[in-house]
Amino acid sequence: MRGEWADMQTNFTDEQMKAPGIQRANEILRRCVHCGFCIATCPTYQILGDELDSPRGRIYLIKDMLENNRVPDDKTVLHVDRCLSCLACMSTCPSGVHYMHLVDHAREYINDNYKRPLFDQGMRFVLSKILPYPGRFRLAIYGAWMAKPLKFALPKMLRAMVEFAPVKMPPPSLMDKPQIFPAQGVRRKRVALMTGCAQRALDTDINEATIRLLTRHGCDVVIASGMGCCGALTHHMGKTDESHKSAAKNINAWMAEVDGEGLDAIAINTSGCGTTVKDYGHMFRNDPLANDAATVSGLARDITEVMSELTLENVEKRSLRVAYHSACSLQHGQQIKLEPKRLLAQAGFTVLEPEDPHLCCGSAGTYNLMQPEISRELKTRKVATLEATAPQIIAAGNIGCMMQISSGTEIPMVHTVELLDWATGGPKPAKLGDKF
């Protein structure tokens, strides 16, 4: 494939190439052969029809900005901001262009060199100081409930935040506190569970189901002291210092367990977090924590990877039709496509896959808050494809996708792990109510 098109030429100076970020950007840019395969799978291009809102278009904008070491202009920032980081382009690129690392570096460069409008600055500051902290997030949800009667008068971003707030919120789960849940029967693995941040405020059932499922299948489950947000939210805003501080806390917390009784895996049930944790080795490649970060990345597993290694036991098959939504961060970011569907099928569910399963739901971290119009259109498209399969339940492996999709359909939406827990002896997911 690379022989049919010319590789992209770059013109960074020797001085520029001393910076590790530019070295990596140069490697990525030079792999691009301008083929345009990425355009066909890019959600923002499908909606907006502008090549600058495609990976290839953004690559040209980023290349020009970085090579000329210039202050980012409004056009470049607009099109980079509109990127979902769904990474569908990486699944279809025949040349192995690592778009994720390139766009993340571009966001860091923009954050450091571009002066955003005051309202935009304020929104990004507020989101970075609230969403990664479950306690603050809970308070923000209470505030959103109070603001709902006035949402018509709010700016579109604030209105999106108010509309995003769930109708109800569970109390904090005691199972999310640092502790160890012993395996039932013979211990097969010792696994640390990443409990997340927003998920701990929005849906405590997910972690509780994960703990039950793992212990039932012979795992000691460790909730490590000092663990917190994975850093993805601030990382994708270009706030590198903040994201690295969050990530470093996790690395230190999990390495304390590795150096203690040891870990066989770090189980992650929020795929957006999983993609970031698996990239810690790259993020800290020039940091004193490089070796520890690489160790943590090597141990990180999506919960469906862990359960595929263990295999499901004592299954009471549930003959229900489940539409499976494959989160972008799982199918593109981690290249995990088959494991969740296989596990659901082994649990007796009839797994339905929507037409165009690569289509992003539009959640994408804070995207549904920062780009509400595009996000809303993507949600409408995704919900339509899922409902077209006539499912009884919709399942996914990422809390952001679950919140996004469930706000557009009456069909019950659950985490994959909740169904696996139910089929192997756990309680029926509360979200199913009196159904089934």
Which domain, by its residues, includes 50? 16-113
344-392 tens-digit pLDDT:
999 999 999 998 888 899 999 899 989 999 999 999 999 999 999 999 9
In a domain, 379, yes or no: yes
For residues 155 and 181, state if they share a domain: no
Considering the domain architecture, whether residues 179 and 303 belong to the same structural domain is answered as: yes
The reply to whether 23 and 78 lie within a common domain is yes
273 and 156 in a common domain: no
Q: What is the pLDDT of residues 37-84, one digit of tens each?
A: 899 899 999 999 999 999 999 999 999 999 999 999 999 999 999 999
CA 394 to chain centre: 18
Of 307, 324, 340, the residue at which a domain comes to its end is 307
Q: Are residues 188 and 228 in the same domain?
A: yes
Residues 105 and 186 in one domain: no
Pairing of strands 265-268, 189-194: parallel
What is the CATH number for 189?
3.40.50
Query: Please, which pLDDT band fits residue 5 given cuts at 50, 70 and 90?
Result: low
184, pLDDT greater than 90: yes
Q: How confident is the model at residue 1 (pLDDT cuts 50, 70, 90)?
A: very low
- Residues 22, 67, single domain; the answer is yes
Whether residue 8 lies inside any domain: the answer is no
pLDDT tens string 236-290:
999 999 999 999 999 999 999 999 999 999 999 999 999 999 999 999 999 999 9
Q: Please check whether residue 11 lies inside any domain of the structure.
A: no
Band (2; pLDDT cuts 50, 70, 90):
very low
Same domain, 329 and 425: yes
Same domain, 151 and 101: no
Regarding whether 280 and 191 lie in a shared domain, the answer is: yes
Query: Tell me, what's the pLDDT at 144?
Result: 84
Residue 206 lies in a domain: yes
* Domain boundary residue, one of 307, 337, 358: 307
Residues 282 and 329 reside in one and the same domain: no
Residue 6 within any structural domain of the chain: no
Domain identity same for 217 and 260: yes
How many structural domains comprise the chain?
4
Contacts of 375 (CB under 8 A, 6+ apart): 160, 362, 363, 364, 367, 368, 404
Please say which residue of 272, 307, 342 terminates a domain: 307
